[in-house]
Structure 1
Amino acid sequence: MHKSVVPRLSGVHRFACLALYRALLRQCAKLPNTAPELSTCKPLIQQKFHKYKKLQSPSQIVDSLKAGYEAVDLLHSASKGNQYDINCITQLISNVQLAKRRESALQRELSKKKPKPLSRKQQRTSESRRVQEQTARRHPDATPILSRPRPVVSGRRRVPVLVSARGVPFLRIKKPQPKNLSGVIRSKLGIRWKRIERRTRLDLELLFARDEDAWDALTTGSEPETWAKEIKDALDVVNQQIQDADKKNMKLAEAMWNVVLAERKLAAEEEKRQSTETLIDT
């Protein structure tokens, strides 16, 4: 049984092709400058070699090598000043360029008639943008999330997942996330961050206010109204607001977790019931 030879993995084949490639490029450098088309010989040869370097068919390889050797003879004759061969080369190049222009014009016409299909990434982007536009506002028939679990659902029950967005809990039913939910989360996080920034600023101002009170005590004596009192009251209010919001989020997270547990229980019961019905039918 004959051993099959892969041409591109054969050292002899690669050496022959590279030798032909170098010979063609050398002959291109010797061409006269009598016609502007001759300057395109080198990039055209490079393009063709790059296009056909992975050929596997023996008949196609033989035809390509034969055409390459004929091109070497033609270029060699043209480099010696043979006007007939120079005209042949310019005519071949003109035909190739004309074919390219016709192909480009045909592709442009086809692209106008038939729009180019979107890539997978473009399809995902378009679908995500469409979902975001649809979920920009809360649906008028939407039920509160804490009203779950639903006693009966059509199809397979989706068990929600409890997620914490930097301390703000929410239940994720499916992806992509609705735009109105993202807006609520950003709003809550923005309010909390503003309160934290205010608390930091008040802590710094409280230090200056106490220094001012100490100076007043040294110069004019103690006063019933101090600089630090108002700042301390405002700081207490901010701390209380942050604590109340955190407690509210904690209670909400506990309520949502109970919803998840209830949904899991119902999903397990429905799956068990469906398995029993399947066994009975079989």
Structure 2
Amino acid sequence: MTLHDRFVIKVPSSTANLGPGFDSIGLALNLYLTLEIEKNDQWECYSSCEELKDLPTDESHFICQVAIKTAANYGIELPPCKIKIESEIPLARGLGSSAAAIVAGIELADAVGGLRLTKNEKLLLATKWEGHPDNVGASLFGGLVIGRYDQHDVDMLSITDLPVEMVTVIPGEILLTKESRDVLPAAYSRQEAVQASSTANLLIAALVSQNWNLAGKMMGQDRFHQPYRQPLIHFYQEIESCAKSNGAFGVALSGAGPTVICFSEKGKGQELAYALGQEFPSMTVKRLSIDYFGSCVKEVEEFVK
């Protein structure tokens, strides 16, 4: 290992699309996947998280597979590790759990295998695993990311210092990304594509210029995916109505859903979270902020300090 024998990988969760930014816009959130790693004579994964206890405990674990295959691409055979995996990110809820796992696996390969990958190299590897750069880019770089992938290259920008807060409304049931993608059309007309892409362009301009009303309007006028996915989320309209009545300037599906994410100006998130929690007591309501740091690898002692 290039670091000391025990180290920690920490990866933020993410939300994607923000309405019209389909497969290209992502935002890092302060829910984390954390791996505590040490040398071992065999691959071993364990967790105290109830949601993770049924996952594989050997090298067939998804994070281990990403790490092993990433290192193999560079001719490196990774030595086995013992990995304690803890996560605040709910699985299959549209908050980037698979993207965080991919990024964690690549960071693991880089740290243990001494690959010395740049952030951009990690981004390309992660995007090839995920198929699009929005969630993995946010988890790697932090902040608001806008990216483009053409199978051989990824271009991405990260925007920081965005004075917004988010409140997520997370249902108990899962929604697999494949199921949510199956309802999307196979093609869009030129007119639909122009309208959808111009909406996404204007969303970014509104966020950067802090025109919150316009940003919220654009979130609600997506043509790429939300009109097709919202019928799968039977409570979406009720959440949107409650959120906008209590300080949210915009509401969108988080990724493929079923989580709904509500955006407010900084300082208004607590009131918004309280109102949503009162209205939807059977769901998990979380007030979140933007993570601006992205994934990091540190010695255990640095996290303890």
More strand by proportion, 1 or 2? 2
Larger Rg: 1
Return the TM-score normalized by structure 2: 0.15
